[in-house]
Amino acid sequence: MPANLSRRTFLKIAAGGAGAAAAATVNTADAFSLSGEKPPPRLASDTVVPSTCAMCYWQCGIHAHVKNGRVTRIEGNPDDPLSRGRLCPRGVAGVGQLYDPDRLRTPLIRDSSGGNQFWREASWDEALDYAAERLDAVRKKYGPEAIALFTHGPGSSHFRRLLKAIGSPNAAASSFGQCRGPRDVGFELTFGMGPGSPENIDVANAECLVLLGSHLGENMHNTAVQEFSEFLGKGGNLIVVDPRFSIAASKARHWLPIRPGADMALLLAWIQVILNERLYDKDYVNSYCSGLDDLWRAVWQYTPDWAYAETGIEARLIHQTARELAKASPRTIVHPGRHVTWYGDDTQRSRAIAILNALLGSWGRKGGFYMRGRWRVPPYPVPKFPKPQKPRADGVGEDVPFGHEGLVNRMRDATRTGKPYPIKAWMVYATNLIHNTPGVKETREAIDKLDFMMAVDIMPSDITGYADLILPECTYLERYDDLRAGATDVDFIQLRQPVVAPLKGTRPGWQIAKDIALRLGLEKFFPWRNFPEYLDKRLRLAKLSLRDARKRGVFTRERGPRFFEDGAPVRFSTETGKIELFSLALLQRGFDPTPKYTRHPEPPLGKFRLIYGRSANHTFAWTQNNPLLLDHYPENVAWMNTGEARAKGLEDGEYVRLYNDDGVMSLPVKLKVTEGIRPDCVYMVHGFGQTNEKLGLAFGKGASDTALMNRYAVDPLCGATGMRVTFVRVEKAAAAAREV
């Protein structure tokens, strides 16, 4: 760790997470002044290289300070519309990942000679030959579709290209079926468009914001947190629906500690009140929406009195908050959420959220949802990819009627069962399937069925432990990735470029994918000599240049009007061309055309629902070995309600284990006894409980939520995995250990 990034500074930045969302996103210079220390002097020999953060998927523009070939600190690029010159604690801690001594630094081949399995270091040439040879064997024996890609994040495009060149349709990322899939589908069915990333919400100008679960301030998507702070600074009315007293709840005018799983009841009751009391935006609804009468027929019975019994939220409060939503409309946002794979009826819950926003007239309106544009960067011209001869193995578009992105869980299950056809090789790029997909037993069974699995990662993670071949990628600070075009209040194109030379032995993803393609005879799909050539070609086609991009890191362009009132085109790409309060598409496929309430099973006496979320200091399961972040948030804790803990004789700070209904026991985890959670659930930060011993700092810290998720509820509309259906009992760690 560079000496000038003192740990105290980090404490200071991250500690803001609990107090003020704004303080959690100060830039490093502010952080130093906050902590009373002097910022490190900017020596003349400091070089500042603009690039893009990849400590999470938000992708903020950065300025990396480099001295003598080492990165000394990372700040936000003030010209970047996502960072606006500020980074979250994880972005600042990119150096901790770059200089992590446990990083993968050479290709490794699983060697089973002599009866024992062990990792053998290999040269890149040998490793790439091996990858190509094994992939080719599967391709010849079973057809190209037998090769699947699991991937996530900014480097994915290189391996998606490789998979397409091979001729397989089977790519999947956890960002759909374990994250935002149901939200995107629910909004598409209603407005003809999903909320996208960054979400098309104008939070800074909103007057009322409703967060269902979305725990901004712990969920540290940078721009979202900055706008949230602006909203709070202006005295916006924040309503937080969460069974746990989250950081956002601590800022709210109303905290509604809902019974987990009952959000649909609350949403339907809000819709009922808004229709019943004619509080909806009549002009807007008359002009743009279809199906109002059908909606009313479906929801009239969902009164606040009825919802009280389901949600535990008093009818009076449901009435009052419904009126507050309407009063601020159209500057009211019922947040679409992001990780929404909760209970299996998540697409319908997202539909209810979309419908509520439509009634409030907030879609396409200032202080509500803006209309997105796109700055098109033409692709690098390559020959047409071969057409796969088989349909997708995960059934997307067929058995899964409304999903339109690959599903990790179903691709995994196709591998496990050999149905609809055998999948025999996995390429796993930057995704830790052991931590991000429920049903770990099934994941292991699927891996057992493979002829070959390769993992491209930066760390010896839990998933790399299962591979036949590990290929060490260099980190985002050491490589180029493809361009990212996006939009906020401006259109932008961002560049990721190397800030320092790659750690010896590691290589960028673009090169790994190209070198494998070359060995498989697929070089015509990778016709560039190197990635700068690729990037420059694309940028030139967009009338820009790599030379400029390298200097600035980001290009921005003014947007046309974003709101209907400013002249943004009113367009809804639904079947009827209207906002569909009643969905014909759903009706035609035999689903409820308007959202309905189903009660989810509750944990039996003595058990708790397992819920989970984020720490401001960690990204999923990949930052737990980063000294800068771990120092501040060293292990996850299990939150339990004070009364429950007392009844069970459990004390704050002691170690417990969680047991699920299938006899799986968690690693020991520290108990946090608090009034800030309902008695029917326990809460944990996701991503801990790593079992790879090569992770010197992360190994043995905290427990994994995923390891307990044998069960999950599949959303019939989009195939996503609802992950809040696990019940656990909680026992003292020592006592639990005796039982086993």
**End-to-end Cα separation, the chain, in angstroms:** 40
Task: Say how far apart CA 554 and CA 726 lie, in whole Å.
Answer: 43
Residue 475 makes contact with ligand MGD by CB under 6 A: yes
User: Which among 26-34, 66-74, 334-342, 530-538 is the span making contact with ligand MGD, rule CB under 6 A?
Assistant: 334-342
Residue 459, C-beta contacts closer than 8 angstroms, at least 6 positions apart: 100, 102, 103, 104, 622, 625, 695
Residue 179 makes contact with Mo ion by CB under 5 A: yes
**Which of 213, 403, 439, 668 contacts ligand MGD by CB under 6 A?**
213
Q: Which long-range contacts (CB under 8 A, 24 or more apart) does 39-48 make?
A: 40/4, 40/72, 40/73, 43/67, 46/72
Task: Say how far apart CA 626 and CA 624 lie, in whole Å.
Answer: 6
Q: Which is nearer to ligand MGD, 457 or 580 (CB)?
A: 457
396 has which bridge partners? 400
> CB of 94: closest distance to ligand SF4 in angstroms?
7
Contact predicate 457/521, CB 8 Å: no
User: Which residue has the closest beta carbon to ligand SF4?
Assistant: 91
Q: What is the DSSP letter of 554?
A: E
Tokens of 668: 């020991």
Residue 544 makes contact with ligand MGD by CB under 6 A: no
Residue 60 binding: pick among Mo ion, ligand SF4, ligand MGD, none (C-beta 5-8 Å cut-off by kind) = ligand SF4
**Which of 165, 232, 307, 456 contacts ligand MGD by CB under 6 A?**
456
Residue 86 makes contact with ligand MGD by CB under 6 A: no
Applying the rule CB under 5 A, the residues between 305 and 324 that interact with Mo ion are none
User: Which among 25-33, 206-214, 318-326, 388-396 is the span making contact with ligand MGD, rule CB under 6 A?
Assistant: 206-214
Task: Say how far apart CA 362 and CA 330 lie, in whole Å.
Answer: 5
| Phi (first) and psi of residue 599, to 5 degrees | -85, 130
Task: Say how far apart CA 687 and CA 674 lie, in whole Å.
Answer: 22
**DSSP-based three-state secondary structure for 422:** coil
Residue 624 binding: pick among Mo ion, ligand MGD, ligand SF4, none (C-beta 5-8 Å cut-off by kind) = none
Map tokens 């996503």 to a residue: 720
Tokens of 338: 């992001």
Task: Give the residue from 356, 179, 192 showing the smallest Cα distance to 269.
Answer: 356
Q: Which is nearer to ligand MGD, 104 or 568 (CB)?
A: 104
Amino acid at 528: W
Give the relative orientation of helices 408-417 and 440-448 as an angle to the nearest 10 degrees: 50
> CB of 518: closest distance to ligand SF4 in angstroms?
32
Residue 467 makes contact with Mo ion by CB under 5 A: no
Residue 338 makes contact with ligand MGD by CB under 6 A: yes
Tokens of 344: 């299996």
**Which of 229, 461, 494, 726 contacts ligand MGD by CB under 6 A?**
461
Q: Which is nearer to ligand SF4, 90 or 161 (CB)?
A: 90
DSSP track, 192-244: SS--TTTT-B-GGG-SEEEEES--BTTB--HHHHHHHHHHHHTT-EEEEE-SB
Where does this chain bind ligand SF4 (CB under 6 A)? 53, 55-56, 58-60, 87-88, 90-91, 220-222
Residue 632 makes contact with ligand MGD by CB under 6 A: no
Map tokens 């995704």 to a residue: 431
Peptide linkage before 198 cis (omega within 30 of 0): yes
Contact predicate 475/449, CB 8 Å: no
Residue 458 makes contact with ligand MGD by CB under 6 A: yes
Q: Which is nearer to ligand SF4, 58 or 231 (CB)?
A: 58
> CB of 444: closest distance to ligand MGD in angstroms?
16
Q: What is the DSSP letter of 159?
A: H
Q: Which is nearer to ligand SF4, 83 or 594 (CB)?
A: 83
Task: Say how far apart CA 231 and CA 97 lie, in whole Å.
Answer: 33
Residue 531 makes contact with ligand MGD by CB under 6 A: no
Q: Which is nearer to ligand MGD, 579 or 630 (CB)?
A: 630
Contact predicate 12/20, CB 8 Å: no
Task: Give the residue from 422, 432, 441 showing the smallest Cα distance to 663.
Answer: 441
Task: Say how far apart CA 141 and CA 413 lie, in whole Å.
Answer: 21
Q: Which is nearer to ligand SF4, 83 or 348 (CB)?
A: 83
Contact letters for Mo ion, residues 333-362 (x by CB under 5 A): ------x-----------------------
Task: Say how far apart CA 209 and CA 731 lie, in whole Å.
Answer: 38
User: Which among 178-186, 460-468, 613-621, 695-703 is the span making contact with Mo ion, rule CB under 5 A?
Assistant: 178-186
User: Which among 39-47, 336-344, 384-392, 567-575 is the span making contact with ligand MGD, rule CB under 6 A?
Assistant: 336-344
Contact letters for ligand MGD, residues 158-187 (x by CB under 6 A): ----------------xx--xx--------
> CB of 182: closest distance to Mo ion in angstroms?
12
Q: Which is nearer to ligand MGD, 180 or 562 (CB)?
A: 180
Residue 261 makes contact with ligand MGD by CB under 6 A: yes
Residue 222 binding: pick among ligand SF4, ligand MGD, Mo ion, none (C-beta 5-8 Å cut-off by kind) = ligand SF4
Amino acid at 675: E
Q: Which is nearer to ligand MGD, 274 or 458 (CB)?
A: 458
Query: Where on the chain is the footprint of Mo ion (CB under 5 A)?
Result: 179, 339
Query: Where on the chain is the footprint of ligand MGD (CB under 6 A)?
Result: 54, 56-57, 152, 155, 174-175, 178-179, 212-215, 219-221, 241-244, 246, 258, 260-261, 263, 337-339, 342, 429-432, 435-436, 456-459, 461, 463, 473, 475-476, 611-614, 616, 618-622, 683, 686, 705-706, 709, 723-724
